[in-house]
Amino acid sequence: MSDLQIGLILLGVVLILIVVIFNWWQDRRIRQRMQEQFPERDQDPLMGGTQGPPVRREPGFGLRDPVQEPAADDPAEVDPTTEVVIDIAFAQPVDSASLQAAIQSLHKVGSKPVRIFAEREGGGHRARLRPDESYASMQLAVLLANRNGPLTEIEWSQLWTVAQTLAERFDGVIEAPEQGPVMDRAKALDELCAGLDAQVGLALRLEGTRPVAEVTRVLKEVGFLPYGHQLAWMSDTGTPRFTALYDGVNVQDVQSAGVDRVDLLLDLPNSPADGQAFSRMASVGRDLARRLQAVLLDDQGRPVSDGTDNAIDKQLSGLYGRLEEAGFEAGAERTVRVFS
């Protein structure tokens, strides 16, 4: 073997070593940056931690004008009690327009909503992308449980597929918990919330079919207000205390021209705590019964007695207390996410 051949072989070996070392260094740099941006949380309130009560927030994810918004971090953040996160750290910062195009259709996997957060190049936490910014990493936060049940293996797999697609598109590195512990957390949250969930209903049985427009007019006269697809009796905080249904469906979803039954529904986790929750709804129900010539029935189909209001109020006050003790303030944004 000639000296030239030996030299070429040695040069090839050196080049291979350089590439290996460079790749190792780059991977280590990305992981360190990701750990700095997404530090591990020491405690999970669901498992006995001491984290304070959540701040009520209504986050969304879309481009917004930086001129109208402060440069400070967005207040909304991942809720480690009710959500599980997949982190994606990008090899190079990704501009907001490219990232928005990649995630604009991602709102849920199966029946579980997904929230998306990003870390700006140079620092800054974002619950909404902002024009003219670039992002070093992002988080996909999926709800662990809601009224459709715990997060399933299929839903978790769907989110993993989305994360892998994003990582491939933007040369990213994924970090996420193993599936087994995620499923265990989802089942634990579902079991906890199943024991806290409660809804109380009253029914107004009309003497005959009444026109939808007439019934709606009467409900608005006594104080019901439009709230999304519903008519709701509102609290002073702007959230419903209880809602009205026509023949078991939301008011705006009624297909027929007439109504035979009006239901009043008190959804405890989604209504603000109230020491007179039932008696307030029953009082409105009795007023409606007089106006509509209807019979007021409980959820067992029996006429409602005046003497039961206080006893039921006490029972519901206990349920409100149990919700709060578990970290779910009635009517708060975190609670509404889970009990939906």
Strand partners, 113: 108
182 and 244, same structural domain? no
> What is the tens place of the pLDDT at every residue in 157-185?
999 999 999 999 999 999 999 999 999 99
What number of other Cβ atoms are within 10 A of residue 160's Cβ?
16
- Residue 152 DSSP symbol: P
The pair phi, psi for residue 160, each rounded to 5°, is -60, -40
Q: What is the CATH number of the domain that holds 288?
A: 3.30.1400.10
185 and 133, same structural domain? yes
- Residue 121 DSSP symbol: T
How much is the pTM?
Answer: 0.74
Buried/exposed 29-43: b ≥16 CB within 10 Å, e otherwise: ebeebbeebbeeeee
Strand partners, 249: 246
> What is the tens place of the pLDDT at every residue in 205-231?
999 999 999 999 999 999 999 998 899
Average pLDDT over all residues of the chain: 85
Runs of H (alpha helix) within the chain: 3-37, 96-103, 153-169, 179-194, 212-222, 277-292, 309-325, 333-338
Last residue of a domain, one of 194, 209, 234: 194
Q: What domain range is 230 assigned to? A: 199-338
209 and 186, same structural domain? no
Strands 172-175 vs 83-95: parallel, antiparallel or unpaired: antiparallel
Tell whether the model's pLDDT for residue 8 goes beyond 90.
no
148 and 115, same structural domain? yes
Q: What is the CATH number of the domain that holds 62?
A: 3.30.1400
What are the tokens at 158? 């769907």
The number of domains in the chain is 2
232 and 311, same structural domain? yes
H/E element, 250 = strand 249-250
209 and 116, same structural domain? no
